[in-house]
Amino acid sequence: MAKFRSGYNCAQAVLYAFCDALDFDREAALKLACGLGAGLGRRQEVCGAVTGGILALGLRHGRGEGGDRTPTEVTYAKVRDLMARFESRHGSCVCRVLLKGCDLSSGEGQRHYKENHLLETTCAGCVATAVEAVEAAL
């Protein structure tokens, strides 16, 4: 949460939370997840907290070069579980739905986001939920 509140996006904050557990470089994590915030580059598709969690699950359970498909199936199952947990708590995994239509791609929408404290009232909870769900899956 400290990373998120210090200005990093939701995807970065979630992936960063697992760097030590995954033996993954912190700087690389921040760069890798940078474009995923605000629902994929402010497109408000899948919530960045969820996509950051998916990256963490892939790093732990995903299929590497030369492996069979078993890790893929394990990873897919864990991703479905993460998304189901998230959706059950927040009603959706889609950023624009979570933010009730606030358009983060516009200056007006970004002002609305700040003035209505959506970082704290919505997004912080999404980050916390994603971290909890990934912790359970790791």
Residue tagged 């030590």 (tokens): 20
Give the model's pLDDT for residue 67.
Answer: 82
| Dist CA 27 CA 65 (whole Å) | 23
Q: Taking the domains of the chain in order of start, what are their residue ranges? A: 2-137
| Chain mean position to CA 22 | 16
Q: Is this model's pTM higher than 0.85 or not?
A: yes
Q: Please classify residue 66 by burial: count the beta carbons closer than 10 Å to its beta carbon, then call 0-12 exposed, 13-18 middle and 19+ buried.
A: exposed
Residues 6+ apart with CB under 8 A from 64: 71
Please write the tens of the pLDDT for every residue from 36-51.
999 999 999 999 999 9
- Counting as low any pLDDT under 50, the low residues of the chain are none
